[in-house]
A and B are shown apart, each in its own frame.
Chain A
Amino acid sequence: MKTDDLLDLLASDRAAVPRNAAARGLALALSVGAMLAAGLMVLFYGVRSDLTQAVQLPMFWVKLLVPIAVCTAGFVQCHRLARPGVGVGLTWLAMALPLGGLWILAAAVWQAAPASERSGLVWGNSWVTCSVSIAALSLPAFVAGLLALRQLAPTRRAGAGAAVGAMAGGLAAGVYALHCTELAAPFLAVWYVAGMAVPVAFGALLGQRYIRW
């Protein structure tokens, strides 16, 4: 086929183009993922029983807001990377700052604690399940996000996949925070971040491999 024929052919396709397709597809994936993650959390884990008292603790909010910030930054990065010719720009800061802040806080708490209590601050009571649960809860948003990404046009596939992972991981950690009773900053800095890192790593891997267009 001559290129001119192809031009005619393409011009004959009058299907309407959705506006803001990237934002809409990803937002849909995020909300589906959020609902499923919340459902799974309530079903298998249960909201912590002392939630009404917990909301008065500042660490509860740290535990909730850091993942939400990661999720938001992942969403924005993904939205950018899904479109050709747009880079992440300064949005990496939106991911680095909350995580860096959490680590600084964790280091300060660790320093201030007497040596005998330090291991308890890191290992908590639930380190075995924490990261695994976060990774598991991220699955719906992760899959939905990758499917949405396939409809778009990421030119940096690994980066876009990782951003989807951050979005899903942040979401899952935020949801899981409503169940988990750990409040020590060092625990969060290690296990929450590890849990969020799992979908990021898988996203980079799967993005590179399966989001070809």
Chain B
Amino acid sequence: MLLGLEGDPDAYKALLKRLSGYLRAFLMRRLQGWPDDVEDLVQECLLAVHNKRHTYQPDQPLTAWVYAIARYKMIDLLRSKSAREALHEPLDDEAEFLADSTAQTGEAMRDLNILLQTLPDRHRLPIQHVKLEGYSVAEAARQTGMSESAIKVGVHRGLKALAQRIRSTRT
């Protein structure tokens, strides 16, 4: 698991994939009243895991760190729903059977692509070229006329900005 944080992209992606399964199971069990919100929240947690990965220290159990993030994001969501609704949070830990369905990704209600469109070009273009159109950093640099380091920084800052946008759509 630590390999991923060391900068090995394949290991990192595999790690995130496994974490997304855990997160989905964790959130589904606790958000039974709002199944529609689960996938959005999974995405939000993944983004938070990524953007806050510098706060993870190797001497700490990874699951404790990830679940603390998930709990924080979930409470944030519940709080932003009406206080009355939040009182009905189901805490039924019996529903382990749901864990089976967690391997497949559900449909997210909120489309991150739309949020992506609201980012400024210097963030949006690197993300679109490098990721969504599958170019390498060097190719993306040539396409956009930006320097390679600007592309890398653009992806990095863009992900932070994306997390910010998610937060502002909620409140």
A residues apposed to B, CB below 8 Å = 1-18, 20-22, 82-86, 152-153, 155, 212-213
Given the interface pairs A1-B108, A9-B159, A14-B152, the reply to whether A83 lies near B65 with Cβ below 8 Å is: yes
Q: Across the interface, do A10 and B47 meet the contact criterion of CB distance under 8 Å?
A: yes
Q: Across the interface, do A14 and B108 meet the contact criterion of CB distance under 8 Å?
A: no
Q: Across the interface, do A3 and B132 meet the contact criterion of CB distance under 8 Å?
A: no
CB < 8 Å: which of A3, A86, A213 contacts B108?
A: A3
Q: Across the interface, do B39 and A3 meet the contact criterion of CB distance under 8 Å?
A: yes
Residues of chain B with a CB closer than 8 A to A10's CB: 12-13, 16, 46-47, 50, 159
Binary CB contact string for chain B from 15 to 49 against chain A (1 if under 8 A, 0 otherwise) = 01100100000000000000000010011001110
Q: Across the interface, do A83 and B56 meet the contact criterion of CB distance under 8 Å?
A: yes
Q: Which 6 A-B pairs have the closest CB atoms?
A: A84-B68, A85-B68, A1-B112, A21-B54, A11-B13, A85-B64
Q: How many A-B residue pairs have CB under 8 A?
A: 118
Closest to B51 in A: A213
Binary CB contact string for chain B from 38 to 81 against chain A (1 if under 8 A, 0 otherwise) = 01001100111011111111001100111111011000100000
Residues of chain A with a CB closer than 8 A to B113's CB: 1
Kindly state the separation between the CA atoms of A6 and B47 in the bound complex, as whole angstroms. 8
Residues of chain B with a CB closer than 8 A to A3's CB: 20, 39, 42-43, 46, 105-106, 108
Binary CB contact string for chain B from 129 to 171 against chain A (1 if under 8 A, 0 otherwise) = 0111000000000000000000011011001000100010000
Kindly state the separation between the CA atoms of A1 and B132 in the bound complex, as whole angstroms. 10
Residues of chain B with a CB closer than 8 A to A9's CB: 127, 131-132, 159
Q: A9-B159, A85-B69 known; 11 other A-B pairs, CB under 8 Å?
A: A1-B108, A3-B43, A6-B43, A7-B17, A14-B7, A17-B54, A21-B55, A83-B60, A84-B69, A85-B61, A153-B55
